[in-house]
Amino acid sequence: MNVILKNGDSLALDEGATCANAAAAISEGLARNAVAAKVNGKLVDLSSRLQEGDKLEIVTLKDKEGLEVYRHTCSHVLAQAVKNIFPTCNLAIGPVIENGFYYDIDFNTPITQDDFEKIETEMAKIIKANTPITRFELPRDEAIELMTKYGEKYKVELIKDLPEGEPISFYKQGSFTDLCRGPHLPSTGKIKAYKLVSIAGAYWRGNEKNKMLTRIYGVAFAKKDEMAAYFEMLEEAKKRDHIKLGKELKLFALMNEGKGFPFFLPDGMKLKNALVDYWRDLHRKEGYVEIQTPIILTRTLWENSGHWDHYKDNMYTTKIDGEDCAVKPMNCPGCMLVYKNEPHSYKDLPLRIAEMGLVHRHEKSGQLHGLFRVRCFTQDDAHIFMLPEQITDEIKGVVRLTDKIYKQFGFKYKVELSTKPENSMGTDEEWELATNALKKALDEMKLDYEINEGDGAFYGPKIDFHLQDSIGRTWQCGTIQLDFQMPQRFELEYVGEDGMKHRPIMIHRAIFGSIERFIGILIEHFAGKFPLWLAPKQVKLLPITDRSAGYAKELCEKLAQEGVRVEVDTRNEKIGYKIREAKMEKVPYVLVIGDKEAAEGSVNVNKRGVEQNYTLTAEEFISVVRKEIAEKIIF
């Protein structure tokens, strides 16, 4: 028989050959590195048998899917090790997460991280044994009987909840058997680098009414040096922690009186306003108009938008004059009303409407984290209303603007295209049209992107931007969502060239995503050492004597007139102490001013990141600072 390889070549194999046989037929090296395969686009075990005409792709640890298979197998090794040591425990689920895996387990006797060493020792024995991992399927009744025999009540519950007719598969490695869809590595011996890292509580199936289980987290990498680099990155991340730096730099405060509602302090507001001013300037140049919509709107609006049915659990509700209302979790419906407020012609389109809107979402207290997960935040939303023939150009325009903003902060990024989810509005034809429009724009711009199946918004497909920061972590920030549904639900119209009424098509988009979260990312990206144009304190003047204090104040006024955020430290402290304190505040420019500088009209410049001080005239320094701010130099 013949199968088709990824490059289009045909590969002849014996009838009944497996994916592993195919890998060996291609090359000895590929067979050695193979961990799984994709057959007709579906990820499968290497032991899966092939049929005539199958499209085959061999998966290694260089592939994202390969690492997922590797890490999922690690979770099974963890489960086996735990069962060997604590035979009375019950296993729940053990999925893959970023950089690793976890397993939720019900222990009769609580465990702690002190138990990790003996669990890892047992895992090492299982891996060293290089036990083959085999897959088998059972009918529903036999599957329940098997898991009941092993005393795995959570597995029994999972099996009973599976749809009728769905294959019920298990994976066996030595004496250990676990319910799992797979796929898995061919044997335990392929695991090279792993470590258990933390323990937490987790409700069974995420429902707080269910029993609290113990979740054991682990990380796993293809090579030991990759794992070492990961832990080095974590150590660096601790130093950059935005909660720690936010407190030290007096940018924001987290208080029990407002859990999930951050307080921005004076320097934090300077930073936030610098971001907003930059955003406004760019959007004005790109032809956007800015609006502001109310924070509280009636229930009927949210029912019309679909949020009441799809998002109510995350919304804060209230009553006003006896009428049900909700605090907005999103800006979109308010913008629909603004569009509908006056008639539009095809000549008005595209219409680009932007809003820095404060939104509120009910997040669980356990999920709150600094500025990264909050209950109120400012979205830099925009909605673009357009003609069908304008879709591609408008999407390209948003992508170009997004690229410009991210590069301004030194971010690299990757792009993801998310398709129709299960819980969605609209017809398959509308979704296909919208998805193809996004693909076309990305393809024409020659941007690499990944498909994220089933992760679109409930009203339309979307493009997501994942930023990579200075220490290699990724953050999902920007999004572009093409929406055919909202204009229909709100009966938006424009008069076409034919004199008839038509429905506009709409783009939702955000670039920062959340101003608060983006600030948290920037704090960690720059380790608090913001570029001059963004820094809350751009220049700090440190007079040495009372005589030089007058000159320092005059220079401060000149810099302030140029729009520079400048302070004078006239406290009666030693100059060394003042310099150290300014460096702790991560001020880009610290100017030491004595009698000599006052007499000469000069400044002694201590620039952040530069070892040697240097002298400039006051006018030269003002010119340098003015240029650096105007050009928004990053480093």
Q: How many CB atoms lie within 10 A of CB 254?
A: 18
Query: What is the predicted pLDDT for the residue at 39?
Result: 96
SS3 assignment for 293-330:
CCCEEEHHHHHHHCHHHHCHHHCEEEEECCEEEEECCC
Instruction: Tell me the pLDDT tens digit for each residue of 564-577.
Output: 999 999 998 899 99
C-alpha 120/C-alpha 194 separation (Å) is: 9
Is residue 492 within 8 A of residue 338, CB to CB? The reply is: no
Grade residue 421 by pLDDT with cuts at 50, 70 and 90.
confident
What average pLDDT does this structure show over 35-62? 95
Percent of the chain topping pLDDT 70: 100
Same domain for 30 and 80: no
C-alpha 351/C-alpha 226 separation (Å) is: 48
Residue 571: both structure tokens together: 């406290």
Residue 315 lies in a domain: no
Residue 634: both structure tokens together: 């990053």
- The answer on pLDDT for 532 being more than 90 is yes
Instruction: Tell me the pLDDT tens digit for each residue of 325-355.
Output: 999 999 999 999 999 999 999 999 999 999 9
What average pLDDT does this structure show over 372-401? 94
C-alpha 173/C-alpha 182 separation (Å) is: 13
Rounded alpha-carbon distances, angstroms, from residue 150 to 57, 102, 403, 592:
36, 21, 54, 74
Grade residue 367 by pLDDT with cuts at 50, 70 and 90.
confident
C-alpha 470/C-alpha 468 separation (Å) is: 7
Kindly tell me the sign of the dihedral angle through the C-alpha atoms of 203, 204, 210, 216.
Answer: negative
Q: How many CB atoms lie within 10 A of CB 157?
A: 14
Residue 635 lies in a domain: no
Residue 271 lies in a domain: yes
Same domain for 560 and 611: yes
> Could you list the residue range(s) of the whole structural domain that residue 550 is in?
539-630
> What residues act catalytically?
332, 361, 379, 381, 383, 462, 508
Same domain for 492 and 384: yes
Give every CB contact of residue 252 below 8 A, 6+ residues apart in sequence.
246, 262, 263, 264, 265, 268, 371, 519
Task: Show which of 525, 551, 584 is a domain's final residue.
Answer: 525
Same domain for 100 and 31: no
Residue 253 lies in a domain: no
Same domain for 48 and 72: no
CATH number for the domain harbouring residue 130: 3.30.980.10
C-alpha 279/C-alpha 610 separation (Å) is: 30
Give every CB contact of residue 627 below 8 A, 6+ residues apart in sequence.
none
Residue 106 lies in a domain: yes
Report the DSSP pairing between strands 168-173 and 133-138.
antiparallel
What average pLDDT does this structure show over 508-525? 95
C-alpha 608/C-alpha 582 separation (Å) is: 10
Phi, psi of 607 (to 5 degrees): -90, 135
Name the maximum alpha-carbon separation found in the chain.
95
Closest to 299 measured CA to CA, from 323, 335, 332, 329? 323
Residue 598 lies in a domain: yes
- The answer on pLDDT for 635 being more than 80 is no
C-alpha 75/C-alpha 185 separation (Å) is: 12
Same domain for 39 and 6: yes
Residue 469: both structure tokens together: 């920061």
Return mean pLDDT, the chain: 94
Same domain for 116 and 25: no
Residue 246 lies in a domain: no
- The answer on pLDDT for 164 being more than 80 is yes
User: Nearest 5°: CA angle at 89, between 86 and 94?
Assistant: 105
Same domain for 214 and 133: yes
Residue for token pair 């979307």: 462
Beta-ladder partners of 482: 507
Residue 301 lies in a domain: no
- The answer on pLDDT for 516 being more than 90 is yes
Same domain for 7 and 132: no
C-alpha 313/C-alpha 299 separation (Å) is: 14
Residue 366: both structure tokens together: 């356990």
Same domain for 141 and 26: no
CATH number for the domain harbouring residue 574: 3.40.50.800
CATH number for the domain harbouring residue 427: 3.30.930.10
What average pLDDT does this structure show over 365-388? 93
Give every CB contact of residue 229 below 8 A, 6+ residues apart in sequence.
none
Total domains in the chain come to 4
Residue 517: both structure tokens together: 């979260």
- The answer on pLDDT for 70 being more than 90 is yes
Is residue 551 within 8 A of residue 570, CB to CB? The reply is: no
Query: What is the predicted pLDDT for the residue at 426?
Result: 79
Instruction: Tell me the pLDDT tens digit for each residue of 7-25.
Output: 999 999 999 999 999 999 9
Percent of the chain topping pLDDT 90: 85
Same domain for 368 and 511: yes
Residue 439: both structure tokens together: 């693909």
Closest to 106 measured CA to CA, from 214, 6, 181, 187? 214
Rounded alpha-carbon distances, angstroms, from residue 216 to 104, 234, 305:
7, 18, 40
